[in-house]
Amino acid sequence: MEGLVRKMQDTENGGIMVRSQKIFLSSIPAAFMGYDIIEWLTYTFRTFDNDFPPAEAVHLANMICSYGYFFPVDSKNLTVKDDGTFFRFQSPYYWPWQKRPPDNVEYAIYLAKRTLRNKQRHQLEDYELEAYNNLKKNLANKWEFITMQAEEQVKLLKTEKKVDKIIADSQERAYWRVHRPPPGMVTSLEHCPVPSRSWNGQRMRKKTVEDCRREVDLLRRSLTRTRIKTSQAIESLIQYYDTYVEYDVLMSQTSQTSQSTHPTNPWVTDDVSFWLLNAPLVEVTTEKRIRKWALSMEDLVSDPTGLQEFTTYLRKEYSHENIRFWSAVNELRRSAQSQISIRVQLIFEEFLAPGAPCEINIDGKTMEKVHQEMRNPSRFTFDAAQEHVYTLLLKKDCYPRFIRSDHYKSLLANAIQQQISQKKRFFGFGQMKKKTSTSNAPSQNLLQQQASQGGCVAAVSAIAKRRGSDRSLSGSAHELAVSGVKDPKVPHSHSQSNLSDIPYRGDLANLPKGVPVAAVAPSPVKKPNMAVVAGASTSEDVCPWEAVPEPRSRRNSGQSESSSSDVSVAVAEITERLQRTNILTQQHTVDGSHQLVVHAAEMPRRASVSVPIAHGVDQVARRKVSSFEDNRSSARSTPPSVFIIPGDLDNKTQENICKTLRKSHSIAKTCSVTGTNAPIISVSSVADESTDDDARSTQERIDEIEDEPGARRVSSP
Amino acid sequence: MCEVETKPLVDSVESLTKEAEILKKKLDAERVKLNDVTLFDSTERAETMAYMSIKPRRTLKGHQAKVLCSDWSPDKRHIVSSSQDGKMIIWDAFTTNKEHAVTMPTTWVMACAYAPSGNLVACGGLDNKVTVYPLTMEEDVTVKKKTVGTHASYMSCCLFPNSDQQILTGSGDSTCALWDVESGQLLQSFHGHSADVMSIDLAPSETGNTFVSGSCDKMVLIWDMRSGQCVQSFEGHDSDVNAVKFHPSGDAVGTGSDDATCRLFDLRADREIGMYGRGNLIFGINSVDFSVSGRLLFAGYNDYTVNTWDILKNNRVSLLYGHENRVSCVQVSPDGTALSTGSWDCTIRVWA
């Protein structure tokens, strides 16, 4: 309030008062007109703000008036209009905040004074009369003093000049109108009953020695703080804005270029699909949301669906102990005090103890720290280890890998397109990206540049920028290099070089083999259709990318088969429908039998396909198993249905086919378990009896035997 | 420098105050060194924004007295609000229906907050207490209410720091405190302000251990929740700091004050990098919030309006009229689709 008072008084002293007081009207002394105020305000503030609309001036004038700095001469309402109504300034004696809020005695004196004077001009209004009577009752012991005071003041008044009398009268009356308003009127002078706020000035608590010492400590510490240049700080704010502006609904509404996005802002259109699509845990994610995961690690893990996908991906790579540890420590930090010690122990046993089932890989120094902290368990016991895991393992290693992985790309490809107008282009983009991952790098570059215009470029460059800023926390040249370039194409290619420079390329090449192979896998049910897709993708690999100018039309015209993309669209639709029913059935089955069911369902298919495709089937099998583990391990907190991952398109169709087969083969399944393939059966039987982790590790071992051993084992360094 | 450090810590207010003065001067000198550009020189290349078109979409009527605080639910459509007469109402802001109404045994409920799960709300005010109400549909929510913590003075603000199990509060006794919900235990208290704490906000990070507080001593302090220590301080406002809010990047803090300005303090540059005010805005600010991209700063003023600042350009991009009394709270919904404003005119409005 203090500063406000000062400001108000500044305005009064420096401005309106001086100028406006020149205006005197002969008939009504010391007055000015409404439009004078408005004009003055507009004139004064035009220099500050080019767009100072008259409406704002009126508003401001009204505000000042309602505080009682000036008041209308005739009317009883404290409002200002841009017209010729007369106003008069309040005498500084009566300004609010000049003194404490008036007490009832003063009010009583004022009212008594009015009763003593000319009945016609000074008659009390109803509410005042009521207040007067009340006060008379309440202040009975002081009443004599009050009437004496009032008489005194009336006597004094009589000695004054008439003009002064009129002015003083009106000022006093206006003062009380502000401070004791008629019932039902809003007053601006209401105070918070908050102790310190109601009295201005010296309300600072007296400083104690301890306070001072604390302040000195803080100052001394902050003297050694490392700072960045202001320009850098501002640069990072601008970058942040550039990166996230497309997720700022309020901003995109403003910009003229905003396309008709779908789904729309629910507050504007009453269409809640926006919220449904952006719910914390969803089966099918929007493309925009998935792209956000690529912006930064924080964006990924703060989105429950993102965290879940990330975990699934790492689980497939057998390096999910890090993310699980990270989540567990987060949970610990947020748990109730009573559970801290138990949780600390549990986490230690699971992740850190020698020979723990899910041991994480941290250096000796951090381990030592943890052991020290363990003596006195608190919610921050594992902070050092968590930090280590987060920055070194997850952020620098797993996260970039995830973003470049086929898992992420397939998520992107399967995502719901938010912008209808761009639907086809994005679809084609995703498809191609997936396929090109096996082809050579230069062609990929070219293709992406062709296919991705607008949003894609923005996204990619945004990724590049964000990554840049992540890496250069110490303010390196990298960040500046990226952000300094304005041409949208250049940062794009920059990010591309980024991608191809990565040290994990070897891993990448090995890892995702399963996906493309899976794409070729034919199935007994849909054999003819799938064959088209398979043929398309294989022959496309042979076809030189560079020779074809338009990526989308090439797809259709280049192949002899009529429309492979149409087929895949249809497949996607079926997939979605089927998936929904799948989830329903899955919810009703028990875990143990589940795994049996899946493998059983695979049997007939395996029999029908030739040898190389076994790889693809394995992929599906493993995916299934892992998702069920998910189900079990976190069934406590989340509904199971959400763990069905909308994976790669072709994988999904296979899953679905599995399901349909399962239904038809439900009788035959038990016998088919004892069928051909030994390793897989052993997995399912083990999984039935043992714990999740055991099952996983068994599976892991088998996989190593079956596929290229070692190549898949991408655990943390 | 040497002289300062070798001096033994005499337990007298005077010597320490003197020392603080010296250190402050040095600190200012340090800060100036790296102040190479002003905000508005370096943001020239950012494109200018058009005047924003943001309209009132919903009006929530039902409070009988001034609305003092409101908070969005994590489900993005519910709002909890508290008012002067001790009522706390849970709204479905989308349909404008009231889902719960709780009468508190106190007036001036100055703070209320939704828990991250959406199943709990906390509130408090002149009763100096923070009380938690679990939201259930079956029974009266007051049955299961639970008093978690008590301050020595009124409670001005509260929030759940990413967890249903803890509450962080700011109080008129010039401290902040972290409470364990289950046991009501005081986990950590934060001393350092010399006047009433008016507002707190949590750093927007998953593992965030820092929060910011603004106080009537005109200071903005950054705290470490683990150690209970103040790690950074910002001065600059000429009057009470009524509102603080982290920029969504976590690198800066936006503030609103009774001196009628909003300011932007950068944590890494360790200084004020922006000030947003006009000569014609002479009324105090009660509440501020950022849009998702961090470019827009919404501020609720005592002159019944909400001004929107483009923090990069220092332009005012919109002015929201509508309320008929002071705007006491503004908050952008968690997904950034809407802005809620609560006012002393007893209504809450949702703008989009």
The shortest CB-CB distance from A245 to any of B182, B192, B293 is to B293
Q: Is the dihedral of CA A303, B294, B121, B184 positive or negative?
A: positive
Asked if A49's CB is within 8 angstroms of B23's CB, the reply is no
Asked if B196's CB is within 8 angstroms of A196's CB, the reply is yes
The shortest CB-CB distance from A223 to any of B16, B27, B166 is to B27
- For residues A314 and A395, what is the distance between their CA atoms, to the nearest angstrom? 13
Instruction: Quickly list DSSP for B153-220.
Output: S-EEEEE--SSTTEEEEEETTSEEEEEETTT--EEEEEE--SS-EEEEEE-SSTT--EEEEEETTS-E
Asked if B270's CB is within 8 angstroms of A212's CB, the reply is no
The shortest CB-CB distance from B292 to any of A41, A248, A335 is to A248
Select from A45, A186, A212 the residue whose CB has the most chain B CBs within 10 Å, as the one to mutate to test that interface: A212
Asked if B226's CB is within 8 angstroms of A383's CB, the reply is yes
Instruction: Determine what percent of chain A falls in helix, strand and coil, rounding each to the nearest 5.
Output: 70, 0, 30
Q: Which residue has the higher pLDDT, A259 or B30?
A: B30
Q: What is the band of B141 on the pLDDT scale with cuts at 50, 70, 90?
A: confident
User: Which residues from chain A sit within 8 angstroms of residue B107, using beta carbons?
Assistant: 193
- For residues A582 and A646, what is the distance between their CA atoms, to the nearest angstrom? 12
Q: Which residue has the higher pLDDT, B233 or A535?
A: B233
The candidate with the shortest Cα–Cα distance to B90, out of B332, B336, B348, is B348
The candidate with the shortest Cα–Cα distance to B153, out of B212, B193, B181, B202, is B193
The shortest CB-CB distance from A215 to any of B20, B35, B49 is to B20
- For residues A120 and B80, what is the distance between their CA atoms, to the nearest angstrom? 52
State the smallest CA–CA distance between residue B241 and chain A in angstroms. 11
- The stretches in chain A having pLDDT less than 70 are 1-37, 40-54, 70, 73-103, 118-123, 179, 181-207, 252-263, 417-717
The shortest CB-CB distance from B35 to any of A188, A230, A249 is to A230
Please state the domain extents for chain B: 60-351
Asked if B16's CB is within 8 angstroms of A215's CB, the reply is yes
The shortest CB-CB distance from B325 to any of A186, A195, A249 is to A186
- For residues A130 and A124, what is the distance between their CA atoms, to the nearest angstrom? 9
DSSP state of A612: G
The shortest CB-CB distance from A334 to any of B163, B194, B216 is to B163
- For residues A405 and A509, what is the distance between their CA atoms, to the nearest angstrom? 10
Q: Which two tokens stand for residue A301?
A: 């893990």
Specify which residues B190 forms β-bridges with.
B176
The candidate with the shortest Cα–Cα distance to A375, out of A348, A339, A336, is A348
Select from A189, A241, A246, A268 the residue whose CB has the most chain B CBs within 10 Å, as the one to mutate to test that interface: A241
For residue A280, whether the previous peptide bond is cis, meaning omega lies within 30 degrees of 0, is: no
Query: Dihedrals φ, ψ of A258, to 5°?
Result: -65, 125
Asked if B304's CB is within 8 angstroms of A63's CB, the reply is yes
- For residues A381 and A371, what is the distance between their CA atoms, to the nearest angstrom? 9
pLDDT tens digits, residue range A373-394?
A: 888 888 888 888 888 888 887 8
Neighbour order of strands in the sheet with B129-134:
B111-114, B120-124, B129-134, B146-150
Element (H, E) at B89: strand B87-92
Q: Is the pLDDT of residue B169 over 90?
A: yes
**A630-639 LR contacts (CB < 8 Å, sep 24+):** A630/A308, A630/A311, A630/A312, A630/A315, A631/A591, A632/A591, A632/A692, A633/A692, A638/A281, A639/A281
pLDDT tens digits, residue range B328-350?
A: 999 999 988 899 999 999 999 99
Nearest CA in chain A to B197: A196
Asked if A233's CB is within 8 angstroms of B295's CB, the reply is no
The whole-number average pLDDT for the span B216-228 is 91
Q: Which two tokens stand for residue A314?
A: 């790492």
State the smallest CA–CA distance between residue B52 and chain A in angstroms. 5
User: Which residues from chain A sit within 8 angstroms of residue B303, using beta carbons?
Assistant: 59-60, 63
- For residues A44 and B271, what is the distance between their CA atoms, to the nearest angstrom? 31
State the smallest CA–CA distance between residue B1 and chain A in angstroms. 10
User: Which residues from chain A sit within 8 angstroms of residue B228, using beta carbons?
Assistant: none
User: Which residues from chain B sit within 8 angstroms of residue A63, using beta carbons?
Assistant: 283, 303-304
Contacts across the A-B interface (CB distance below 8 Å): 311
The candidate with the shortest Cα–Cα distance to A115, out of A93, A132, A138, is A132
- For residues B194 and A208, what is the distance between their CA atoms, to the nearest angstrom? 10
The shortest CB-CB distance from A216 to any of B23, B156, B338 is to B23
- For residues B256 and B241, what is the distance between their CA atoms, to the nearest angstrom? 6
Which residues, in sequence order, are CB contacts of B211 under 8 Å at separation 6+?
A: B161, B168, B176, B200, B201, B202, B203, B222, B223, B225
Select from A39, A204, A248, A253 the residue whose CB has the most chain B CBs within 10 Å, as the one to mutate to test that interface: A248
State the smallest CA–CA distance between residue B234 and chain A in angstroms. 11
- For residues B313 and B171, what is the distance between their CA atoms, to the nearest angstrom? 34
User: Which residues from chain B sit within 8 angstroms of residue A248, using beta carbons?
Assistant: 291-293, 295-296, 336
State the smallest CA–CA distance between residue A577 and chain B in angstroms. 27
State the smallest CA–CA distance between residue B40 and chain A in angstroms. 9
For residue A328, the one-letter residue type is: A
Select from B207, B209, B235, B276 the residue whose CB has the most chain A CBs within 10 Å, as the one to mutate to test that interface: B207
Specify which residues B180 forms β-bridges with.
B166
H helices within A350-405, ranges in order? 364-374, 383-388, 399-404
The whole-number average pLDDT for the span B221-232 is 91
Asked if A223's CB is within 8 angstroms of B26's CB, the reply is yes
User: Which residues from chain B sit within 8 angstroms of residue A1, using beta carbons?
Assistant: 239-240, 258, 284
Select from B72, B249, B298, B332 the residue whose CB has the most chain A CBs within 10 Å, as the one to mutate to test that interface: B249
The candidate with the shortest Cα–Cα distance to A514, out of A307, A712, A355, is A712
The candidate with the shortest Cα–Cα distance to A194, out of B254, B289, B258, is B258
Q: What is the pLDDT of residue A380?
A: 84
Asked if B165's CB is within 8 angstroms of A337's CB, the reply is yes
Report the CATH architecture of B60-351.
Answer: 7 Propeller (2.130)
State the number of CA atoms in the 13 A half-sphere of A52 facing the CB: 21
Select from A43, A219, A234, A300 the residue whose CB has the most chain B CBs within 10 Å, as the one to mutate to test that interface: A234
Specify which residues B233 forms β-bridges with.
B221
- For residues A92 and A217, what is the distance between their CA atoms, to the nearest angstrom? 45
Q: Write out the E strands in A291-450.
A: none
Residue pair A399/A424 in contact by the 8 Å Cβ criterion: no
Nearest CA in chain A to B222: A218
The candidate with the shortest Cα–Cα distance to A349, out of A374, A323, A318, is A374
User: Which residues from chain B sit within 8 angstroms of residue A230, using beta carbons?
Assistant: 34-39, 266, 269, 271, 273
- For residues B350 and A267, what is the distance between their CA atoms, to the nearest angstrom? 8
- For residues A114 and A237, what is the distance between their CA atoms, to the nearest angstrom? 62
Maximum CA extent, chain B: 68
- For residues B123 and B114, what is the distance between their CA atoms, to the nearest angstrom? 9
User: Which residues from chain A sit within 8 angstroms of residue B336, using beta carbons?
Assistant: 247-250
- For residues B254 and A670, what is the distance between their CA atoms, to the nearest angstrom? 65
The whole-number average pLDDT for the span B104-119 is 90
Nearest CA in chain B to A381: B226
Using the CB atoms, write b or e for A472-485: b if 16+ within 10 Å: beeeeeebeebbeb
The candidate with the shortest Cα–Cα distance to A348, out of A358, A339, A337, is A358
User: Which residues from chain A sit within 8 angstroms of residue B249, using beta carbons?
Assistant: 236-237, 240
Instruction: Map B154-168 to HEC letters.
Output: CEEEEECCCCCCEEE
DSSP state of A310: H
pLDDT tens digits, residue range B234-280?
A: 988 988 899 999 999 999 999 999 888 999 999 988 888 889 988 77
State the smallest CA–CA distance between residue B232 and chain A in angstroms. 7
Look over chain A and give the mean of its residue pLDDT values, rounded to a whole number.
Answer: 59
Select from B4, B16, B272, B311 the residue whose CB has the most chain A CBs within 10 Å, as the one to mutate to test that interface: B16
Instruction: Quickly list DSSP for B269-291.
Output: TTEEEEEE--TT--S-EEEEEE-
Asked if A231's CB is within 8 angstroms of B37's CB, the reply is yes
Which value does ipTM take for this structure?
0.84
- Helix orientation angle between A455-471 and A230-244, rounded to the nearest 10 degrees: 140
